[in-house]
Amino acid sequence: MELEYKTKAAQGYLVDLMRTVFRWSNPVLKGWYADPELHFFDRRFWIYPTTSDGYEKQTSFRAFSSANLKDWQDAGVILDFADVPWSTTRAAWAPSCATKDGRYYFYFSAGDGAGLGVAVSDKPDGPFVDPLGRPLVSEYHCGAQPIDAHCFIDDDGHAFLYWGGWRHCVVARLSSDMLALEGKIVELTPKNYVEGPFMLKRSGLYYLMWSEGSWGDASYQIAYGRSKNPFGPFEREKSLFRPNPEIASSAGHHSVLQIPGTQDWILAYHRRPAGETDRDHRVVCLENLRFDRAGEICEIDLTDSGAVG
């Protein structure tokens, strides 16, 4: 769990949070960013994205925080590949952040096959430091390119790492210190999977979500499947976004956040604005995520603004 409210003051803050209406305008971040992972840490919303630019310019990670989902502050560089000797010093992709026992763990892709790394900090805005001095994952297990890590912490505190490009998805347990894999690496690959896995849990069911198509064109989209086990199997159920080329295309590589204490869910993702042709001109946006009575995720419209609460 990302938040624990034990004191009266903290519980009062949670009540205030539940009563708040959050509004935003898309895109929520200024500039070209992609692959956003959205969290609520230390009483603020946080987005950890990829800087959407040429590979040679993707050499570090930044973070952004907000109290209201509308006004976002740039926390600056939280991890620089100059401080990660084993990296290729380029193609900093698709980060994932998780917190456990008061520390923050940042999982990241060092592109071109160098591997997945992990860095640690005492604060959500870093600086993050690589404690291993080597990749956490460097091999292509089950054919999965070691990119696009997503850390999921279950209700019982057990942590899992999902990852994989090149149309293969795998998962493994993380050790109690969050710095090593434990047990067998299991392939999950559902139909049409390409990259960008994300896991959420709702009403006892595990929802594996992923991106399909090509990130450089309009075929890019999000799909999902459900299982009673974090190791699957996951059968593809459907894609999520209704196409709307008048607003944007290539809507994908996302994350999902349930606002603490509420039944409200938000999806963060990137898309290419209408009229843009440069593959790296991608922006980070938010949408409401809703479920029907059967637990299926409802289709999502591309919007220019939204609200929740």
Domains of the chain in sequence order:
8-308 (2.115.10.20)
Comparing CA positions, the residue from 88, 91, 125 lying closest to residue 106 is 125
- What are the backbone dihedrals phi and psi of residue 138, each rounded to the nearest 5 degrees, phi first? -125, -20
Q: Is the pLDDT of residue 18 over 90?
A: no
Residues 230-254: tens digit of each pLDDT: 999 999 999 999 999 999 999 999 9
What is the distance between the alpha carbons of residues 123 and 37, in angstroms, rounded to a whole number? 16
Catalytic residue numbers read: 35, 195
pLDDT score at 1: 41
Q: Is the pLDDT of residue 97 over 90?
A: yes
What is the distance between the alpha carbons of residues 64 and 69, in angstroms, rounded to a whole number? 10
H or E stretch at 116 = strand 115-121
Burial label for 2, CB within 10 Å (0-12, 13-18, 19+), is middle
pLDDT score at 17: 79
b (16+ CB within 10 A) / e for 186-197: bebbbeebbbbb
Q: Is the pLDDT of residue 274 over 50?
A: yes
Residue, of 111 and 286, whose pLDDT is higher: 286
What is the distance between the alpha carbons of residues 153 and 155, in angstroms, rounded to a whole number? 7
Length of the chain, in residues = 309
Residue 27, preceding bond cis, omega within 30 degrees? yes
What is the distance between the alpha carbons of residues 17 and 261, in angstroms, rounded to a whole number? 8
**Res. 8 pLDDT band, cuts 50 70 90:** low
| Arithmetic mean of pLDDT, 180-198 | 98
